[in-house]
Amino acid sequence: MSSGRQTSAERIYGRDLEVGRVYQLSEFVMTRAELIDFALKWDPQGFHIDQQVADDGPYVGLIASGAHTFAVMQRLSVLDVYDHWAVIAGKGVSDVAFLRPVRPDDVLTGTLTVVEATSDDRNRTLVVVDSELTVAGRPVLRARVSSYVHATPAV
């Protein structure tokens, strides 16, 4: 589960990353119980945690916290993609867009597309990916995520 448990030989380095490559993410089911639990801790607004408030609101029903959908994106990205890369650390995220509400029992999946991979003279590769999560084929979240990856094993 941890990239740290992989040996160097198994890992993908910055030098090997191809701009334009698209990674398919696996699926995550947003259960009603988890939607509410996450929001109670991290985003306790009525339309995330209170069925009655949500039913009376503009979305007519509970919707997931954007912080939750963002966390789902990170989970799928790590398990399916970053876990195989020699990641140093995240750098930043730009242009996070919540395009449609995510509701109980929605099945989230998506893609991650490499849009930039630039190595520097400190053996680091700045990797920029466009992430998109979808529900039933329609986008719910887009974000551009930048990370540093070891360019080669010689660190």
- Asked whether 36 and 53 are in contact (CB, 8 A), the reply is no
Q: Say if strands 138-150 and 106-119 run parallel, antiparallel, or are unpaired.
A: unpaired
Cβ closer to a copy of itself: 4 or 20?
Answer: 4
Cβ closer to a copy of itself: 7 or 20?
Answer: 7
Query: Within 13 Å of residue 63, how many CA atoms lie on the same side as its CB?
Result: 18
Nearest distance in Å: CB 15, a copy of itself: 18
Which residue is associated with the tokens 């089911």? 29
| Three-state secondary structure call for residue 118 | strand
Only one of the segments 13-21, 35-43, 108-116, 132-140 lies at the binding site for a copy of itself (rule: CB under 8 A); that segment is 35-43
Q: How far apart are CA 79 and CA 112, in angstroms?
A: 12
Touching a copy of itself, residues 43-102 (CB under 8 A): 43-47, 49-50, 52-53, 57-59, 63, 65-67, 70-72, 74-75, 78-79, 82-83, 87-98, 101
Tokens, residue 72: 């789902």
Nearest distance in Å: CB 135, a copy of itself: 16
Q: Does 3 bind a copy of itself (CB under 8 A)?
A: yes
Q: Does 7 bind a copy of itself (CB under 8 A)?
A: no
- Asked whether 100 and 30 are in contact (CB, 8 A), the reply is no
Cβ closer to a copy of itself: 20 or 25?
Answer: 25
Query: Within 13 Å of residue 116, how many CA atoms lie on the same side as its CB?
Result: 13
User: Which residues are at the interface with a copy of itself (CB under 8 A)?
Assistant: 1-5, 41-47, 49-50, 52-53, 57-59, 63, 65-67, 70-72, 74-75, 78-79, 82-83, 87-98, 101
